[in-house]
């Protein structure tokens, strides 16, 4: 066995605090190591060539690279050794950057630690075995979760690429948050006017199958072959019959239903179509308000419906769809302003959220675009906007910036002036964050052309005084406190993860961060991939972002799906469990613990019962290996002997 070890300086990232020459020198003394050298950038082209050349020149058969995290470059170097003719699993990385040079301050200790990491990696690589992938067929259908602008974009791009798309939207209509907006910054385009055609495209695309008012119930399978259970929630209206005429909504006697589309700005009917441009334009009954459900009698809608579509007996239905890839575009939520006690915590009717204000501005909203105070329906003259309402506030549990509030506040201030030329808007802000194309100019226009007064400082309290709301805050530029008597206060409450985001992540086996936003595979280089192959991210589910970024991510996720589905077969990761039939005693404890039901019982000729791994189902976790008492089932590339080699290298000497 001839091991070659390549120790990377990573410029000064490693060499700055690790004596790389000494690591190389000590490495040469390890039995089995035939060649060791340190180099400036091992991942660079000359660096990789150096590995390939050394393999040929010194007849090396195993390679160790001591550099950054294998999560960064393992794949890069596996390809390198493969190009030089070695099996790609005859390769190990010693992480001497993230786990060493970047975290330890003492050069001597770091150097020693790096040498240890190399010794463990050499011990492991000497136990490595060649592994070979096998290929399996790919289902070319795509599941998109979430019918907001990001999800719709992904669905349309995938469908235009020729793949059948299953689009699951939990609310009764696609459109998401964007469908609720009045205008978009910085162009003041009418939001629904640009979104509406996309929604129609989704509805009319031959290859898109839309499940509105539905949720993903269960995800089984693996990349290329997922089985998805979808819960179609009961709408109590047979959508195959409903024409969306709206008769029912007009005649429904229950007028106090909460309108989630309008964020409760005004009530709606117990049977309703969320908004005029809804796709699908179908009615649904809210049983918490419908008299047929609460009182047991009414039946007005059933009587009036011209197509007899009403069905009070309807129940949730579970359907199964098979797909090969999944795009998660499940959107975001908004911070409950009850958490903001100093701003009234939702107790004052004239302190509203920005999305509610958006509905007031909207011509198809509940006030037909007239800005009125919720308390007395009078037109406000003084409007105060409070930015960073919860955002960048650890005590609220939102340590991050919500990304687009600064911009929509500027937009809403501009629109306020447009609607009511004699009004005056104030904005309390912490910093104006406007780093997009045309964005900074836009916030300046709000101030310079529309006379919005920007006050740099936080609002400490909002309280009522007669018909007015007093907004008390600091002006940190002037070093004074300010009080503004407002007719209406608009809070830019923080963007949060969508309700239920962790539960969906658990179904998909993807990670989420402490704020419940989904974690991308690499923050810079793999922004729409997840660590679960076949599952991609788009839109605010991954973190707050504005419309162009969401659309961009939707297309990016679709591009990833399309490139994956351009192949008829995918290769499996050969690092999966394998049974040694001679050693297996047939106790089948592995069958019990496998999280994927990937192990079955097999009777050999002669009657001996052993465990058998279904290759395409095994995900490579290794729970079976640590369940098996006799070591008969071994997770390849992480076998007992391979891990013991590392343990021994680190402990025995």
Partner 1 sequence: MNAQELRKAAKEVLPSVDVVIGQRAGFDPLHAEPCFATKPEDVDDFIASPLCVHNLASYLPSLKGKKVAVVVKGCDSRTVVQFLEEGLIKRENVTVIGVPCSGIISVKKVLERVSHEPIQSISFDNETVTVKTNKREEKIPLLEVAPGKCTTCQYPNPLIFDVLVGQKLEPRGSAEAVYDDIREFETKSLEERKEYWEKTLGRCIRCYACRNACPLCVCQESCIAETRDPHWMSQKDDPKEKMTFHMIHAIHLAGRCTECGECERVCPMDIPLGQLKKKINMGMKELYDYVPGINPEEKPPMYVFKVEEDKIEEHELS
Partner 2 sequence: MPELAGKELRIVGFLCNWCSYGGADTAGVGRFKQPTDLRIIRVPCSGRIDPLFVVKALINGADGVLVSGCHPRDCHYSDGNYYARRRLEMLKQFLPFMGIDGKRFHYTWVSASEGQRWQKVVTDFTRQVHGIGPLHEKKEAAK
User: Which positions lie near partner 1, rule CB under 8 A?
Assistant: 580, 583-585, 587-589, 592-593, 607, 627, 629-632, 634, 639-641, 644
Which one of partner 1, partner 2, none is in contact with 110 (Cβ closer than 5 to 8 A by kind)? partner 2
- Min. distance of Cβ 38 from partner 2 in angstroms? 20
What's the alpha-carbon Rg for the chain, to the nearest Å?
Answer: 30
Beta strands in 487-608 (DSSP E): 488-493, 495-497, 535-537, 569-571, 577-579, 599-603
Residue among 65 and 501 whose Cβ is closer to partner 1: 501
Indicate the burial class of 269 (C-beta count within 10 angstroms; 0-12, 13-18, 19 or more).
buried
Residue among 566 and 641 whose Cβ is closer to partner 1: 641
Residue 212 has φ and ψ, to the nearest 5°, of -85, 160
Cβ–Cβ under 8 Å, residues 28 and 4: no
By CB under 8 A, tell whether 647 contacts partner 2.
Answer: yes
**Interface of this chain with partner 2, residues 620 to 639, rule: CB under 8 A:** 620-623, 625-627, 635, 638
- Min. distance of Cβ 642 from partner 1 in angstroms? 9
List, in order, residues 6 or more apart from 510 with CB less than 8 Å away.
328, 518, 519, 530, 531, 532, 535, 537
Residue among 188 and 587 whose Cβ is closer to partner 1: 587
- Min. distance of Cβ 48 from partner 2 in angstroms? 22
Residue 289 Cα to chain centre, angstroms: 33
Handedness of CA 64, 68, 72, 76 (dihedral sign): negative
Considering only residues 49, 53, 59, 108, which one is a binding residue for partner 2 as defined by CB under 8 A? 108
Cβ–Cβ under 8 Å, residues 491 and 354: yes
Which one of partner 2, partner 1, none is in contact with 653 (Cβ closer than 5 to 8 A by kind)? partner 2
Kindly state the tokens that stand for 279: 């796709």
**Interface of this chain with partner 2, residues 557 to 576, rule: CB under 8 A:** 575
**Interface of this chain with partner 2, residues 532 to 561, rule: CB under 8 A:** 532
Considering only residues 277, 596, 609, 615, which one is a binding residue for partner 2 as defined by CB under 8 A? 596
| Window of 113-121, 312-320, 378-386, 458-466 that interacts with partner 2 by CB under 8 A | 113-121
- Min. distance of Cβ 532 from partner 2 in angstroms? 7
Residue linked to tokens 């920005």: 354
By CB under 8 A, tell whether 109 contacts partner 2.
Answer: yes
Look at the chain and count its residues: 653
Site track for partner 2 across 55-94, x = CB under 8 A? --------------xxxx----------------------
Kindly state the tokens that stand for 170: 């939990």
Residue among 489 and 635 whose Cβ is closer to partner 2: 635
| Window of 112-120, 226-234, 263-271, 274-282 that interacts with partner 2 by CB under 8 A | 112-120
Cβ–Cβ under 8 Å, residues 467 and 377: no
By CB under 8 A, tell whether 531 contacts partner 2.
Answer: yes
Residue among 191 and 532 whose Cβ is closer to partner 2: 532
Which one of partner 2, partner 1, none is in contact with 639 (Cβ closer than 5 to 8 A by kind)? partner 1
List, in order, residues 6 or more apart from 257 with CB less than 8 Å away.
267, 268, 269, 270, 272, 286, 288, 289
Which one of partner 1, partner 2, none is in contact with 630 (Cβ closer than 5 to 8 A by kind)? partner 1
Neighbours of 348 (CB within 10 A): 16
Residue 579 Cα to chain centre, angstroms: 36
Residue among 254 and 636 whose Cβ is closer to partner 2: 636
Considering only residues 20, 36, 118, 120, which one is a binding residue for partner 2 as defined by CB under 8 A? 120
* Strand ranges of the sheet holding 142-145, from the earlier edge strand across to the other edge: 208-211, 165-168, 142-145, 325-328, 535-537
- Min. distance of Cβ 626 from partner 1 in angstroms? 10
Indicate the burial class of 474 (C-beta count within 10 angstroms; 0-12, 13-18, 19 or more).
middle
Which one of partner 2, partner 1, none is in contact with 102 (Cβ closer than 5 to 8 A by kind)? partner 2
Among left, alpha and beta (phi > 0; psi -120 to 50; other), residue 81 is alpha
By CB under 8 A, tell whether 99 contacts partner 2.
Answer: yes
- Min. distance of Cβ 356 from partner 1 in angstroms? 37
Which one of partner 1, partner 2, none is in contact with 638 (Cβ closer than 5 to 8 A by kind)? partner 2
Q: Report how far apart the first and last C-alpha atoms of the chain are (Å, whole number).
A: 21
Which one of partner 1, partner 2, none is in contact with 154 (Cβ closer than 5 to 8 A by kind)? none
Residue 490 has φ and ψ, to the nearest 5°, of -115, 120
- Nearest one of 171, 176, 170, 173 to 217, comparing CA atoms: 170
Which one of partner 2, partner 1, none is in contact with 583 (Cβ closer than 5 to 8 A by kind)? partner 1
The 8-class DSSP code of residue 400 comes to S
Which one of partner 2, partner 1, none is in contact with 187 (Cβ closer than 5 to 8 A by kind)? none
Neighbours of 15 (CB within 10 A): 18
Which one of partner 2, partner 1, none is in contact with 4 (Cβ closer than 5 to 8 A by kind)? none
Which one of partner 2, partner 1, none is in contact with 30 (Cβ closer than 5 to 8 A by kind)? none
**Interface of this chain with partner 2, residues 484 to 513, rule: CB under 8 A:** 502, 505-506, 509, 511-513
Q: Quote the CA–CA distance of 642 and 271 in Å, as a whole number.
A: 63
Considering only residues 97, 282, 284, 612, which one is a binding residue for partner 2 as defined by CB under 8 A? 97
Among left, alpha and beta (phi > 0; psi -120 to 50; other), residue 24 is alpha
Task: Report the relative pairing of strands 165-168 and 142-145 from DSSP bridges.
Answer: parallel
- Min. distance of Cβ 608 from partner 1 in angstroms? 10
User: Is cis: bond before 461, omega within 30 of 0?
Assistant: no
Residue 632 Cα to chain centre, angstroms: 39
Which residues make up the interface to partner 2 (CB under 8 A)? 69-72, 95, 97-100, 102-106, 108-110, 112-113, 116-117, 120, 502, 505-506, 509, 511-514, 519, 531-532, 575, 593, 595-596, 619-623, 625-627, 635, 638, 640, 643-644, 646-648, 650-653
């Amino acid at each position: 066995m001839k091991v070659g070890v390549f120790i990377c300086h990573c410029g000064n990232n490693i060499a700055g605090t690790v004596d790389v020459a000494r690591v190389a020198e000590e490495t040469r003394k390890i039995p089995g190591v035939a060649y060791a050298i340190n180099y400036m950038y091992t991942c660079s082209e000359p660096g990789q060539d150096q590995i390939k050349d050394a393999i040929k020149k010194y007849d090396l058969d195993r390679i160790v690279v001591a550099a950054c995290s294998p999560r960064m470059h393992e794949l890069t170097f596996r390809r390198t050794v493969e190009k030089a003719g070695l099996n790609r699993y005859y390769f190990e990385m010693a992480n001497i950057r993230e786990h060493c040079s970047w975290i330890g301050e003492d050069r001597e200790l770091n150097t020693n630690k790096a040498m240890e990491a190399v010794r463990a990696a050499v011990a492991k690589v000497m136990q490595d075995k060649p592994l070979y992938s096998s290929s399996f067929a790919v289902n070319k259908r795509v599941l998109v979760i979430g019918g907001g602008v990001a999800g719709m974009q992904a669905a349309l791009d995938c469908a235009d690429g020729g793949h059948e798309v299953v689009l699951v939207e939990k609310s009764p209509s696609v459109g998401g948050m964007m469908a609720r907006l009045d205008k978009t910054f910085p162009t003041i385009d009418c939001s629904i006017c640009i979104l509406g055609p996309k929604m129609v495209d989704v509805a009319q695309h031959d290859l898109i199958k839309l499940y509105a008012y539905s949720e993903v119930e269960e995800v089984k399978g693996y990349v290329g072959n997922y089985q998805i259970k979808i819960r179609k929630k009961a709408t109590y209206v047979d959508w195959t019959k409903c024409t969306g005429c709206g008769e029912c909504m007009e005649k429904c006697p229950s007028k106090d239903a909460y309108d989630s589309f309008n964020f409760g700005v005004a009530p709606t009917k117990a049977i309703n179509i969320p908004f005029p441009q809804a796709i699908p334009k179908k009615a649904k009954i809210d049983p918490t308000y419908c008299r047929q459900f609460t009182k047991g009698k009414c039946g007005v809608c059933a009587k009036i419906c011209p197509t007899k579509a009403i069905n009070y007996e309807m129940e949730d239905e579970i359907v199964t769809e098979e797909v090969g890839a999944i795009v998660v575009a499940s959107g975001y939520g908004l911070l409950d302003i009850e958490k903001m006690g100093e701003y009234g915590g939702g107790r004052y009717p004239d302190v509203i959220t920005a999305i509610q204000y958006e509905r007031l501005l909207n011509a198809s909203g509940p006030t037909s675009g007239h800005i009125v105070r919720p308390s007395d329906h009078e037109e406000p003259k003084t409007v105060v906007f409070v930015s960073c309402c919860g955002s960048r506030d650890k005590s609220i549990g939102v340590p991050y910036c919500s990304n687009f509030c600064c911009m929509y506040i500027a937009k809403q201030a501009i629109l306020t002036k447009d609607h009511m030329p004699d009004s005056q808007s104030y904005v309390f802000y912490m910093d104006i964050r406007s780093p997009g194309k045309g964005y900074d100019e836009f916030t300046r226009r709000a101030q310079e052309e529309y006379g919005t007064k920007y006050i740099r400082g936080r609002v400490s309290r909002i309280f009522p005084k007669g018909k007015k709301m007093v907004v008390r805050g600091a002006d940190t530029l002037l070093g004074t406190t300010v009080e503004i008597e407002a007719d209406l206060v608009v809070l830019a409450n923080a963007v949060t993860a969508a309700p239920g985001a962790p539960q969906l992540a658990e179904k998909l086996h993807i990670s989420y961060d402490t704020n419940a936003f989904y974690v991308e595979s690499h923050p810079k280089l793999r922004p729409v991939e997840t660590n679960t192959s076949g599952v991609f991210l788009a839109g605010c589910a991954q973190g707050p972002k504005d419309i162009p970024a969401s659309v961009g991510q939707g297309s990016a996720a679709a591009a990833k799906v399309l490139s994956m589905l351009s192949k008829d077969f995918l290769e499996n990761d050969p690092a999966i469990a394998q049974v040694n039939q001679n050693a297996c005693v047939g106790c089948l404890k592995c069958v019990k613990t496998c999280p994927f039901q990937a192990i079955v019982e097999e009777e050999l000729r002669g009657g001996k019962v052993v465990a058998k791994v279904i290759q395409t189902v095994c995900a490579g976790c290794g729970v079976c290996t640590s369940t098996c008492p006799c070591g008969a089932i071994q997770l390849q590339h992480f076998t007992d002997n391979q891990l013991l080699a590392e343990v021994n290298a680190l402990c025995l000497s």
